[in-house]
Structure 1
Amino acid sequence: MEDTELLLNVVDVEATCWQGQPPPGAVSEIIEIGLTVVDLRARERVGRHRVLVRPTRSRVSAFCTELTGLTQDEVDTGVSFAEACRWLATEHRAGARPWASWGDYDRNQFTRQCQATGVTYPFGHRHTNAKKVFTEAHHLPKRPGMAGALRLAGLPLEGRHHSGEDDAWNIAALVVRLLQQGAWPGPTTGT
């Protein structure tokens, strides 16, 4: 198996958000990308990464800071969205490696933002909705949030909830647990 089959990128993004409607002209933009690399054969988390992204069509609200811990001054030090997508493509082989997120929000946010800005979508087509896999593996009637899934799996919430870096790390722990249970889809669940 090639590297692209042995490693999985687990991605979680944080984006500008508001309590209620966005201000006139503002749109939700990615301000943090958290990425944890999972070695599918070893069934362990092997890399933890974070990149801050500078928004250009919105600002970080007080509500967003309270939720994510990120401030406008902090994200102003980040890279452009185009640079962040290049980082994913070059440093993490995002176009070739399979990837996962908790739900479809992250995938949809990247799709929307790439279309709106003309930036090349960095990921390939092999996306797994880890929330859906977890829900089916545990025969749950409803899809839980990440924190609830960690509780159900008997795993601790490490770090701050709604931090892209910490959430990617925690989602990856759930992926590892699903791998150990033989519930993660694909040919890479064997040893």
Structure 2
Amino acid sequence: MIALDEVLVVDVESTCWEGTRPDGEVSEIIEIGICPLSVATGERGERRSVLVRPTRSSVSPFCTRLTTLTADDVADGLSFADACAVLRKDYRSDRRVWASYGDYDRKMFERQCADYGVPYPFGPRHLNVKTLFALTHALPREVGMAEALRIAGRPLDGTHHRGHDDAYNIAGLLAGLLRR
């Protein structure tokens, strides 16, 4: 049974490159940002960053400029399987509605779980906050998270493109949408 008292807001950061991806490398999750959101109160829980050690790619200088994460930062991260286990154990992710800003995060988890043979850590209910925000505000198209914050009159809290900060900001946007 899916619990509806809390939405688990997730934002991932992945290895990325400026221009063409190097031969033999694939984009991998290197950070899972998490922020639980109470449905009843709209209060955001503590933001958390779970760093994930890549095994089939490296952190490029472009990726570091974008996320502030370095190869040394993620070298001591958890394995992807252990990071998914943290989601299930600490957040009951397999029994909660989870949300992300857009479908990128959901697709990254689906692909990486399939590639690594890791059980998908989430239940069947995913909320795409990017689409929900555009629909709720009658926008002609979906907008990025920073633009959504501007439209909602909310400041960007923390560092954009850090998973835990983005998850916290997305949870704030979702709280506003649930109150509408």
Q: TM-score by structure 1 length? A: 0.92
Q: Which residue of 2 aligns with 1:13?
A: 12
Q: Distance in 1 between matches of 2:122 and 2:177?
A: 23
Q: Displacement of 1:3 after TM fit?
A: 8.7
Q: Which residue of 1 aligns with 2:145?
A: 146
Q: Which residue of 2 aligns with 1:38?
A: 37
Cα deviation, 1:54-81, whole Å, max 9, x if unaligned, reads 0000000000000000000000010000
Aligned residue runs from structure 1 range 114-153, under 5 A: 114-153=113-152
Q: Percent identity?
A: 55
User: Residue 118 of structure 2 aligns to a residue in which SS?
Assistant: coil
Contact 1:38 1:44 in 2 (8 A): yes
Contact 1:38 1:47 in 2 (8 A): no
Cα deviation, 1:30-72, whole Å, max 9, x if unaligned, reads 0000000000011110231110000000000000000000000
Q: Displacement of 1:109 after TM fit?
A: 0.2
Aligned residue runs from structure 1 range 1-191, under 5 A: 4-181=3-180
User: Residue 130 of structure 2 aligns to a residue in which SS?
Assistant: helix
Which blocks of at least 5 consecutive residues in structure 1 are unaligned? 182-191
Q: Which residue of 2 aligns with 1:189?
A: none
CA RMSD of aligned residues (A): 1.1
Contact 1:50 1:165 in 2 (8 A): yes
Q: Distance in 2 between matches of 1:35 and 1:69?
A: 17
User: Residue 95 of structure 1 aligns to a residue in which SS?
Assistant: helix
Q: Displacement of 1:22 after TM fit?
A: 1.2
Q: Distance in 2 between matches of 1:26 and 1:135?
A: 34
Aligned pairs, number: 180
Q: Which amino acid aligns with 1:135?
A: A
Q: Which amino acid aligns with 1:84?
A: A
